[in-house]
Structure 1
Amino acid sequence: MTATNPLITLNNGVQIPALGLGVYQSAPEETTDAVLTALHNGYRLIDTAAAYFNEREVGEAIARSDVDRSEIFVTTKVWISDYGYDSALRAFDVSLRKLGIEQLDLWLLHQPLPSDFEKTIAAYKAAEKLLAEGRVRAIGVSNQTPKQLDELISRTGIVPAVNQIQVHPYYTQPEWRAANESHGILTQSWSPIGRLLRLPGRRHQPARRPRHHRPGRQVREDTRAGRTALAPRPRLLRDPQVRQSPSHRRELRRLRLRPDPRRGGRDRRPRHRRTRRTRPGLARPGERRLPDPRLGSPADQAGRQRR
């Protein structure tokens, strides 16, 4: 390995390149050429996942490359829909078949499943089985919080070699990195240069309001997807059973919204009633003519109308 891309030794003795190419959001038709170009220019770590839907294209690039397979470090991840012991083993076989390789270098659990952490534990135990069989050289996790990491280590037999989390100069996560280091786990960064990079000396431009914005809905910035999206409507506007108390009205004022009179709130907006105006002395068909002060008293005008 070159000096610009040194090797790092994991807690089980396996060496991993310090720099690599991640193919997240890489279109399948573009992935093969991107991986080939990266390998040609010195990259030796390729990071993909089942949820990226481009494992097959990564495998095709590895097969077409002039770089020997032993020099390429391949990482893939199992998605939460395949968590569980048996389903994780099946998902590993599918990934290996798509990549077209006999042994994987690093297999990660893509993210924890807090709603059913038992499946996360079962999937990691399946990874331990694959490690013992020699079908993968190292196993690890991704996006695990320190608390989740402690629970997983206490209930399994092998400490993860890697915890892949988001780390960059504008999001350093010192607590997570310290927790990984305390267990001897390598912190691997995804998005290492940041998704929304703020250049020095330039003001940050807020996200523009999308065309489909409607009053009463707040615009938020989805940093993971890199686009603006509409936030859900507040519960006190969605739920007709919520009584609009003074605290709710204050919340509405904070959101620059107004209470809905159909749901028990009083609408204090001024109502400008449009009235039909008729010039003095003129009347439309079927309307009473208004008196004109320039033509004398109302009685005189009424006499003229009777004539």
Structure 2
Amino acid sequence: MHRPRSLAHIGGNAKYLLHVRRQAEAICNLANRLGCEFLLSHGPHFPTAAAAARQSKLRFAVMIHSGVAPSWTAKMLRLVQRPDVVFWELPSTRERYMPLFSDVLSTQIPAVLDAQFADSNTCPSARSSSLKRVGLVAAFSPRKRIDKFLALAEHPLTRDIEFHLIGFVAREFADWWENDMATRVSRLRRTGRLKIADGTHGVSAEVGLLDGLIITSDDEGVPNVAMEALAVGARVISLELEGVDILRQQLASQNAELAITIVPRGPDEITKLAECLNQPVLELTREEIAAAARFVTRADYGAQVIAAALRRGMSNA
């Protein structure tokens, strides 16, 4: 499916809108063959799904995961077809978009770990819970703030810690990587302060080797990689992010919130991150962190919440 872009990408949006009708018809045809009763759109293709719901007269729900998605798509979908249910993940997302959907049933989506990851990865219980090997896992882009992670690897307080940069450079950011990151990364690799792992075909094996995950992104929803790291018993150390705080609140129900450390943003944030990496070992074991994380992010609970809201949406329509 074609996807909308921000308002600055006029050409990309024009290309997207040219395909909306055709792709909505394809959705309708598939829904008719399957005997669907509800269309559920996991953005950012909201207008396409709204057009399909309008054509098919099926009930319609959307999942809005974060405020990063182009806001014009939410406004456009409301003009095309009012959804019966709106799901949201972060309180700030609800505050941003809910004025558009004040007359619509809305429900918060629990943070849920990918069941495939949970089934194929176990907690490496043989290792200690101290922070000896920490990593940043991402599709590398400017908003992931790789520069802050590299600054952490360069900090004098972290000389005894092994840093791993795990992921890949998307084609659209190749120039940024070459111009702004490559030289610094190469220097750190030569000095032995940094190791690189290619995450093009998956990162689960590399995540399983970490003692701690570092998150320095400018913005995120609830980071999948944070749930994955916790699920194998690794700690999460993050700059302030609403989605990470959501995870910490969920872990509090199992008395495991100390598995996540959130560092305030500001001029001394790198030093504070470095200090966190040198704090004494937590009382929580890797096994306790993994068990708590897997319990609070289990897929069946998230599915129950979504299914219950869809039933209410159908009965209210």
Query: TM-score scaled to structure 1, two decimals?
Result: 0.30
Q: Which has the larger radius of gyration?
A: 1
| Structure with a larger share of its residues in helix | 2
Query: TM-score scaled to structure 2, two decimals?
Result: 0.30
